[in-house]
């Protein structure tokens, strides 16, 4: 009896094991079928925001811009084209912008969640801009709109507790009727249209936002715009699903019916999924060098691979307020000492050596600028002239969590500078720590950083990163703490110049001085590479938006 | 034979059952459990304090991270005030405790409720942990028993050698190998990335189960080895009990007690998230949430995930202690 019992238990054990592995095998073998005519995407992490007031990162913007729409948008290049505004006019002094809205733009939902929603009016745009100016929204885009007359004061009044009655609206935004909105600026600004093309000020319906507020919900979870897609489902950390908005004002768009973006995993996994046909578009920006070479050299994928400048600059900020980088000769020596071509070891053809600040393709890019060649002998001479014949020791701060290859780049910089007698200690920190440390005055000597454009204009690089008047003690974007009154004057003059040719010339003059004074080691610009499936039509890299999914067709 | 009758005519089993039926039988155990819960709460408070102070000492400003690249000092100051970061440390800690108790702790990164984010990811973590655990036990127990039975044989030595290899292979490498060959090259399993579903489960579960199964098989083997020399095993054999029953009933029950202690803590760590396995297979569990929050300096989310891990460990400890009492009759009697 005992033996029979043991025999039964053993059989049970065996059966359990067999059933378990068979179950695993069956579920594993049954590959999930790919849904037809749906654009399948994947990303390493969840989309951060679907509220346009908060969307300021590469995970959020591609989706916010197809859920919502603004007054203006970018065309196929860096040119501004009408969106919800059918047309606009700019006053001769460049200080007043009047927009005339199209009448057929509608929100996706009405207040009760039924479709379609009401018409988008000028009042919606005023509300959207005032919403981001309100400190309670904590929008990253607030400062872009301070040039609207009274906007900064309107915003600051709300940031402090006060008993006085606050004005309802920003004085510089006037809405004469549903079809017209007027912006009065403090000073002429050629980039104001760029600011209006940013997702921060896409139209959102006030009554929808307020109703959500009252219910303890947020626009982020329940987006309602007038873009070509509407949200179907967002399971955080797993997937985001968008479907075509049948009431979009341009009946030709979007070209596909649904978009599913799944989250998680790294580039290796995403590339496998791409090659298995599970996803349609794969970014090769961060692909490991062997994978990158394999894909870009492959005859199979070459016809479906696109590349374009990333519109960025990677640099080492040299703190001009701290020794030894308060000496121009030392800074120039640093530039001559680095062999930037060695970065191709881990980035392949994804880079272009930087000769200045502006990336190729930016208005005002100066191809005549020569920058600094690799010349260690000259670097040694300059160091000797500066009083450092035996070099010195510095610490380079960098963040391998911000960009994976920054660790390797820091090691190359360390090795190259060692050849001219400069000892570099490497300090790896999180990006949050790096930003805090590098933005603080008199704090660190060297930091490996990058800057990606907000919009295609030289002001977004030169004014933000080199205008000495904008240096702050604790959170400066001018991380070299470079302050040259002549450059400041040129940048200020360019900022209010409305003649584009004159503006660009002023920026070029400023950039030339900056490159000569070398507050940075100008490293490189990166190139974006994307590969898509053969059944994807209409996908094109864009100089401003990483992707414009409304134009993508899925022929499968 | 087992029904030995005592003087008053009640069997041992009947007396044991009668003792258990009495409410007073459970009181010492209940008091012990309350003490353990008290210690668990103290531990959680201690963990939260240490992590809070460590994060406070970091030379990074979360307000700067939240504010974005273009924010001016006024905006950063406003955000710092809004997040309560300009208040004294004890006040900040008090607010943190209040928020976590009222489920009002929000992520800095996307304003998501921390507890919701953890709770949302918990089923995926639990699913993977249970699958891994199943592989551990299904493979480890028979293997441990067989290697103990055939101790010193070629089979035992071969399994020891292979087990050591399995334990030594890092999960991120093994996972990648499984993913590449079993998923990508041969197409037997999903490579992952489709979310937490049954279809995507086999490879991460196998990755997780591989080393664990080898480790527990060796642990069980060692414990069985020492138990098999005990007198009661010899007497069982002398009574003519079969070798299979000696192993599976007499020896296993004793040998598995230390295994359960280790298993409890391992399960706690499984439920706290598995960073490498989750990352490789895009498994949306708590481990990947923790690593993302660290990289983004999302202080509330870091606090939430750390506290959750601590909670899992203390709960697992309590459960292991309770399990001891049920598995080991000696402990029950000592209570």
Return residues 168-197 of A near B (CB < 8 Å): none
Cβ neighbours of B103 in A, within 8 Å: none
Shortest alpha-carbon distance between residue A272 and chain B (Å): 6
Cβ distance of A264 and B142 shorter than 8 Å:
no
The verdict on a CB contact (< 8 Å) between A262 and B117 is no
Q: Do B191 and A269 touch (CB under 8 A)?
A: yes
SS3 state at A356: coil
Of A159, A269, A429, the CB nearest to B192: A269
pLDDT at A529: 93
In the 3-class helix/strand/coil scheme, how is chain B assigned residue by residue? CCCCECCCCCEHHHHHHHHHHCHHHCHHHHHHHHHHHHHHHHHHHHHHHHHHHHHHHCCCCHHHHHHCCCCCHHHHHHHHHHCCCCCCHHHHHHHHHHHHHCCCCECCCCCCEHHHHHHHHHHHHHHHHHHHHHHHHHHHHHHHHHHHHCCCCHHHHHHHHHHHHHHHCCHHHHHHHHHHHHHHHCCCCCCCCCCCCHHHCHHHHHHHHHHHHHHHHHHHHHHHHHHCCCHHHHHHHHCCCCHHHHHHHHHHHHHHHHHHHHHHHHHHHHHCCCHHHHHHCCCCCHHHHHHHHHHCCCHHHHHHHHHHHHHHHHHHHHHHHHHHHHHCHHHHHHC
pLDDT at B55: 80
* pLDDT at residue B2, as a whole number: 46
Which of A28, A48, A464 is opposite residue B109, by nearest beta carbon?
A48
Instruction: Assess contact for A247 and A116: CB atoms under 8 A.
Output: yes
- Percent residues over pLDDT 70 in chain A: 93
Residue A45's closest chain B neighbor by CA? B292
Residue of A nearest to B245 (CA): A6
Nearest CA in chain A to B276: A265
Of A28, A436, A451, the CB nearest to B64: A436
pLDDT of residue A163: 62
> At A496, is the secondary structure helix, strand, or coil?
helix
Q: Which residue in chain B has the smallest CA separation from A60?
A: B110
Return d(Cα A355, Cα B223) in angstroms, integer.
Answer: 68
Average pLDDT, chain A: 90
User: Consecutive sets of 10 residues in chain B, 335 residues long: mean pLDDT of each?
Assistant: 50 68 70 85 90 79 72 75 83 87 84 87 89 88 85 86 87 90 89 76 89 87 82 84 79 79 77 79 87 82 89 85 71 54
Closest residue, chain B, to A132 (C-alpha)? B75
- State whether residue B201 sits within 8 Å of chain A by CB: yes
pLDDT of residue A196: 96
Q: What is the rounded CA–CA span in Å between residue B217 and residue B151?
A: 13
Residues 240-279 of B with CB under 8 A from A: 242, 244-245, 248, 278-279
CB contact under 8 A, B242 and A239: no
Contact A226, A494 (CB under 8 A): no
What pLDDT, on a 0 to 100 scale, did the predictor assign at position A347?
A: 82
Residues 289-328 of B with CB under 8 A from A: 289, 292, 294-297
Which chain B residues contact residue A269 at CB under 8 A? 179, 191-193, 280-282
Question: Which pLDDT value is given to residue A431?
Answer: 83
pLDDT at B5: 47
Residues 221-260 of A with CB under 8 A from B: 235-239
- Would you call B284 and A16 a contact, using CB atoms and an 8 Å cutoff? no
How many residues in chain B? 335
What pLDDT does residue B315 have? 87
Which of chain B's residues have a Cβ under 8 Å away from the Cβ of A435?
A: 60-61, 64-65
> What's the pLDDT at A59?
87
Q: For residue A24, list chain B residues with Cβ-Cβ distance below 8 A.
A: 201-202, 205-206
CA distance A413 to chain B (A): 24
Nearest C-alpha in B relative to A48? B110
ipTM over 0.85: no
pLDDT at B299: 85
Q: Cα separation of A25 and A507, whole Å?
A: 63
Residue with tokens 């209940």: B30
Contact residues on chain A for B78, CB-CB shorter than 8 A: 135, 138, 159
Contact A237, A264 (CB under 8 A): yes
Positions of chain A with pLDDT under 70: 1-33, 161-165
Q: How distant is the Cα of A548 from the closest Cα of chain B, in angstroms?
A: 23
- Check CB contact of B73 with chain A, cutoff 8 Å: yes
pLDDT at B142: 86
Exposure string over B63-100, b if 16+ CB within 10 A, otherwise e: bbbbbbbbbbbbbbbbbbeebebeeeeeebbeebeebb
A454 contacts in chain B (CB < 8 Å) = 70
Find the closest chain A residue to B186 by CA distance.
A29
Specify the pLDDT at position A316: 97
Q: What is the H or E stretch that residue A96 is in?
A: strand A96-101
């Amino acid at each position: 009896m005992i033996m029979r019992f043991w025999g039964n238990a053993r059989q049970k054990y065996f059966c359990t094991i067999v059933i378990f592995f068979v179950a695993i095998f069956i579920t594993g073998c049954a590959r999930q079928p790919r849904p037809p005519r749906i654009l399948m995407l994947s990303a390493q992490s969840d989309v951060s925001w679907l509220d346009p007031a908060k969307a300021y990162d590469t995970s959020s913007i591609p989706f916010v811009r197809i859920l919502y729409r603004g007054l203006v948008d970018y065309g196929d290049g860096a040119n501004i084209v009408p969106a919800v505004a059918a047309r606009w006019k700019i006053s001769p002094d460049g200080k007043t912008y009047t927009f005339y809205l199209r009448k057929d733009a509608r929100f996706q939902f009405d207040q009760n969640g039924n479709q379609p929603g009401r018409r988008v009016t000028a009042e919606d745009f005023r509300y959207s801009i005032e919403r981001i100016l309100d400190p309670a929204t904590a929008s990253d885009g607030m400062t872009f709109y301070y040039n609207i007359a009274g906007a900064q004061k309107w915003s600051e009044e709300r940031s402090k507790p006060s008993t006085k009655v606050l004005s309802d609206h920003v004085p510089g935004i006037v809405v004469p009727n549903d079809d017209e909105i007027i912006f009065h600026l403090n000073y002429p600004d050629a980039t104001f249209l760029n600011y209006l093309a940013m997702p921060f000020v896409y139209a959102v319906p006030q009554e929808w936002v307020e109703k959500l507020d009252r219910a303890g919900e947020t626009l982020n979870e329940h987006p309602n715009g007038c873009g070509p897609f509407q949200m179907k489902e967002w399971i955080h950390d797993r997937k985001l699903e968008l479907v075509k908005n049948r009431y979009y004002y341009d009946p030709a768009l979007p070209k596909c019916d649904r978009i599913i973006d799944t989250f998680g995993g790294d580039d290796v996994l995403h590339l496998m999924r791409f090659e298995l046909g599970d996803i349609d578009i794969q970014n090769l920006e961060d692909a490991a060098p062997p994978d990158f070479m394999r894909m870009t050299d492959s005859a199979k994928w070459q016809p479906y691979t696109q590349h374009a400048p990333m519109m960025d600059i990677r640099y080492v900020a040299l703190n001009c307020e701290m020794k030894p980088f308060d000496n121009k000769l030392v800074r120039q020596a640093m530039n001559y000492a680095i062999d930037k071509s060695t970065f191709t070891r881990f980035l392949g053809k994804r880079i272009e050596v930087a000769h200045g600040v502006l990336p190729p393709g930016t208005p005002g890019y100066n191809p005549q600028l020569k920058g600094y060649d690799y010349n260690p002998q000259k670097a040694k001479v300059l160091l000797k002239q500066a009083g450092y014949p035996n070099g010195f020791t510095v610490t380079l701060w960098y963040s391998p969590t911000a960009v994976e290859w920054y660790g390797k780049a820091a090691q190359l910089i360390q090795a190259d500078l060692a050849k001219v007698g400069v000892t570099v200690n490497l300090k790896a920190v999180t990006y949050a720590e790096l930003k805090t440390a590098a933005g603080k005055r008199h704090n660190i000597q060297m930091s490996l950083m990058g800057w990606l454009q907000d919009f295609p204009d030289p002001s977004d690089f030169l004014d933000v990163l080199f205008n000495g008047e904008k240096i702050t003690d604790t959170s400066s974007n001018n991380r070299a703490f470079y302050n040259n009154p002549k450059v400041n004057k040129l940048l200020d003059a360019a900022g209010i110049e409305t003649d584009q040719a004159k503006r660009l010339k002023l920026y070029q003059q400023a950039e030339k001085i900056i490159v000569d004074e070398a507050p940075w080691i100008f490293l490189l610009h990166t190139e974006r590479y994307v590969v898509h499936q053969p059944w994807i039509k209409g996908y094109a890299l864009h100089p401003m938006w990483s992707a414009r999914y409304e134009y993508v067709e899925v022929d499968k | 034979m087992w029904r030995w009758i005592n003087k008053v005519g009640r069997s041992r089993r009947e007396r044991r059952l009668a003792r258990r039926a009495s409410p007073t039988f459970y009181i010492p155990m209940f008091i012990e459990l309350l003490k353990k819960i008290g210690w668990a709460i103290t531990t959680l408070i201690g963990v939260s304090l240490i992590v809070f102070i460590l994060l406070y000492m970091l030379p990074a400003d979360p307000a700067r991270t939240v504010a974005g690249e273009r924010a001016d000092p006024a905006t950063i100051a406003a955000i710092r005030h809004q997040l309560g970061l300009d208040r004294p440390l004890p006040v900040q800690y008090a607010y943190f405790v209040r928020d976590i108790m009222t489920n009002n702790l929000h992520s800095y990164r996307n304003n998501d409720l921390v507890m919701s984010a953890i709770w949302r990811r918990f089923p995926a973590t639990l699913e993977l942990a249970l699958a891994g655990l199943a592989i551990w036990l299904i493979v480890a127990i028979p293997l441990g028993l067989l290697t103990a039975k055939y101790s010193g044989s070629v089979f035992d030595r071969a399994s020891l050698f292979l087990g050591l290899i399995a334990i030594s292979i890092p999960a991120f490498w093994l996972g990648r190998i499984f993913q590449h060959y079993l998923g990508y090259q041969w197409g037997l399993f999903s490579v992952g990335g489709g979310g937490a579903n049954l279809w995507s489960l086999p490879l991460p579960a196998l990755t997780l189960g591989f080393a664990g199964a080898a480790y527990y098989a060796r642990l069980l083997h060692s414990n069985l080895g020492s138990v098999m020399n005990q007198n009661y095993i010899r007497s069982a054999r002398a009574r003519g009990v079969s070798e299979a029953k000696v192993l599976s009933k007499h020896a296993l029950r004793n040998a598995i007690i230390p295994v359960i202690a280790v298993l409890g803590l391992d399960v706690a760590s499984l439920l706290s998230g598995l960073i490498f396995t989750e990352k490789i297979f895009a498994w949306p569990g708590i481990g990947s949430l923790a690593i993302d929050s660290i990289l983004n300096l999302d202080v509330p989310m870091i606090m939430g995930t750390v506290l959750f891990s601590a909670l899992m460990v203390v709960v697992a400890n309590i459960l292991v202690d309770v399990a001891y009492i049920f598995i080991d009759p000696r402990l029950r009697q000592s209570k």
